[in-house]
Structures are given as C-alpha cells and as structure tokens.
Amino acid sequence: MKTELKTLLPQLRRFAFSLTGSAQDADDLVQNTIERLLNHPPEPHVTLLHWCFRVCRNVWIDEYRSRKVRQASSDEPELQEASTDGEATMLAQIQLTQLQKAMSRLPDEQIEVLSLVAVQGCSYAEAAQILALPAGTIMSRLARARNALLQSVRLSEGSYGV
Amino acid sequence: MKITDEMLSAFLDAELPESQMQMIREALHQDEQLSGRLAALAEMDLLLKQHASQMDHQVVPEKLMALLDEPTQDNLVSFPLWRRITALQPWSGAAAACLAVVAGYSLALWQAEDPWAEISLALETQAAGVSYPLTGASRLTPHLTFMDKQGRYCRQYQVSSSDEISQQLACRSAQGWTLEAMVNGAAQDNSGYQTATGSVVLDPVIDRMISGQVVSLSAEQQLIRQQWVTTSDGEQP
C-alpha cells in the first residue's frame, strides 16, 4: 500500500492544502492521515484515493479544525512570494491570495465539498460517499461556496458581470 | 424554469439530469449574463485548482517520505543500537540474538567465530566489484567507497550466501572498520521481509553521511595500496 500511497501523495497533499490553507499544516495533516491509513488499511474493494480523502477529512475535523489553522495561512511566506514575471502573474498571485482569504472565511463543510468536487474532480456521488452526506447537500453546499468565493475574488477584467 | 445558482453550479459539474442540462445549454445561447456567470464559476474552479497546486511546489518533508519509504525502519538496523550491542559484547550469542530480533532474519550468514575480522580484512584489501570469499560459503563484494562528514572512509558492500543477502555499510577510523548500517533479506523474495538485493536500500543512509562525491575506482585502488592512509600523520586526509 505504501507504493500506492506514494503515487497518491500529490493529490492528497493538494486536498490537505485546500482544507487547511497552509503548506505546513497540510503536510502535518497528510502525515497523520498516512499514519492512520497504515494502521487501519481500507478493505480491498474500497477505492484507495477516496478512502484517503475520507480519512484526511476526518483527521482534519478531529485534530486540526479546532485549532483554526487556516487563519494563519495568510502569513505563510512560502506561498506569498510575489512573482516579478509580469502583470499577469502578479494578478494571478493577487487572485490566489484573495482566494485564500475567501476560503478561510468559508464554513468548513463548504470547504471540504469544494476541495473534493472543484479541486479533486470527484462526482457528487463520490463526494457524498466520502462525506457521508446526501448528494443534494453536496450540490447546495457547493453552490453556496462558489457564490461566496465569487463575491470575494476579483476575477479577470470584466468579471463576467458577477 | 428559473435557472438558480445551484443549478448553474451543478451544470458546470455535469451533474444535472440531461433534460435540465439541455435547457441550460439553450438558455446560455440567449442569456449573456447567464453565460458570464457560468464563465466566472469555471474560472473560479480553475483558480481553486491553481491554489491547491501550490502544494506541488513545496518539498515533501523527509519525515513524511520516511513513512512511505521501503525498507521500513523495522528492518533497517539502527546503528547507535548496533554500537551499544557491540560495545558491550562484540559478536556474542546474546548480541546476535538481539540483532536477529531487531532485523527479523536469521544469522546464517555469520558462521565464522569472528566474522568482523574477515569482513574488516576484505574491506581493507578488496576493490569494488571484486567478490571475496568468507567462511561458510558466504561472499563479500564491496560496491562503493565515500568519505563521510567526519572525514572517515566508508564502504558500502554486500554479504551474500545462497539464501540470504545483507547490504552493509562500514566506516574506517583509527580503531579499524566499524559497521554503520545493515539491511538484510532473503536472497529470494519469499520471506515476507524486504529483500535487500540492491545496494540502493542503503542510499538514504549514504545520503545522510556522505561528504562530497563517491570515491572513483582508481582513487579507491590507491587508498587500498596505501592502506587507507592518505596523509603522513594519521588516518584522515
């Protein structure tokens, strides 16, 4: 299973980063997730990636969410390095910073749905299975999360009239 | 039918029934504001993916990789432990029993009364790639030589018999050669343990210890000829 986990590591780290908003907290979360996975491997019929997401989300809720770690992420220097590669890159960096702040204000239950569907590309049914929620709840939480982000992040010129 | 934000969000994910998907497609042709809103949602998703991909540029912490690396710490002998054991009772039966438990393998490789004397002699005199016979039908083959951060010459080598292979690392000090790391396994992968058939299993240890580059074959032969002394006044170059 270690070999499989290694191949899934980039996705798991991205997922953890989406949840925590902090590279350091994300790696701590992944570390704890992997330790838990190695101690309690999934049944053979379970999709390992989905199981990883589920365990990661549970660890996040159990051990990280209460610490409000995401609020510290805006101070994280390694993800705040301003690029000097031109205006477009600067704009992208500003957008990412705005997005980070906007995500830190979202309710946790919206962040986890966003992370699974919009970032990881899970279907609503898959996200519902991972989070043990009805698919309808996934759909409504996702829409609310996307709308909240659109209110907070300045998109490209013109901003589509939103 | 009014197209809600929830429907548009689900349309972006292709999660609506086909009849509603088609209805929204048609509406998008006629409603610029709706198509602008959908484009904004799509751009936000792209931004979310970019945001998450920042993590790809962060170096994976060593402690995290160590969790997933093979061999596990269970069958990589810890050398402070090794040194403690050898310091107390070198190559005694008790020490051997402890090591067998730690490493999870038998000690059939070590049939000589003082295997380390044989191994030290081989390390002192044998060039890389040359197989040297040990007592009990085992063989030692040096693989590479390097200098560690303490200025000692170290050699990574393999000790093998018909059913076991041991990858080992020893360093030379004024007191002679000292074992620094060892990974053992069955010669054939049917033991349930990590098969230590390749020298790469000790690469993480070598990476932590090495100072500079691996010693070239010609330099290694020169060292052997000079009995590993490279300066006139002592062991260290």
pLDDT tens for A70-106 read 444 444 444 444 444 566 667 777 888 889 889 989 9
Whether residues A18 and A56 share a domain: the answer is yes
Mean pLDDT, contiguous 10-residue spans, chain B (237 residues)? 90 91 89 88 89 85 81 44 35 32 38 70 87 83 90 90 81 86 64 45 82 85 85 43
Whether residues A37 and A102 share a domain: the answer is no
Task: Write the CB contacts of B227 (distance below 8 Å, at least 6 apart in sequence).
Answer: B124
Nearest residue to B51 (alpha-carbon basis) of A126, A73, A37: A73
d(CA A56, CA B87): 45
Whether residues B165 and B122 share a domain: the answer is yes
Residue matched to tokens 């998703």: B45
A102 located within any domain: yes
**Tens of pLDDT, residues B85-133:** 333 333 333 333 323 333 333 334 444 456 778 888 899 998 888 888 8
B174 located within any domain: yes
Whether residues B36 and B86 share a domain: the answer is no
B108 located within any domain: yes
d(CA A161, nearest CA chain B) in Å: 7
Domain total of chain B: 2
B18 located within any domain: yes
> What DSSP state is assigned to residue B26?
H
- ipTM confidence score: 0.77
Q: What is the pTM of this model?
A: 0.52
Whether residues A91 and A48 share a domain: the answer is no
B-contacting residues in A 100-119 (Cβ below 8 Å): 100, 103, 114-115, 117-119
Contact B177, B119 (CB under 8 A): yes
d(CA B41, nearest CA chain A) in Å: 7
Contact B91, B116 (CB under 8 A): yes
Whether residues B46 and B121 share a domain: the answer is no
Nearest residue to A74 (alpha-carbon basis) of B41, B49, B51, B200: B51
Domain extent, residue A49, equals 1-70
Domain total of chain A: 2
**Tens of pLDDT, residues A132-142:** 999 999 999 99
Task: Write the CB contacts of B15 (distance below 8 Å, at least 6 apart in sequence).
Answer: A123, A124, A139
CB contact under 8 A, A99 and B61: no
d(CA A132, CA A75): 33
CB contact under 8 A, A96 and B5: no
B153: enclosing H helix or E strand: strand B153-160
Structural Rg of chain A based on CA atoms: 17
The length of chain B in residues reads 237
Contact B138, B159 (CB under 8 A): yes
Q: How far is CA B102 from CA B160, B166, B168, in A?
A: 19, 14, 15
Q: Is A53 on the interface with B (CB under 8 A)?
A: no
Domain extent, residue B106, equals 72-225
Q: Is A80 on the interface with B (CB under 8 A)?
A: no
Number of cross-chain residue pairs from A and B with Cβ atoms under 8 Å apart: 119
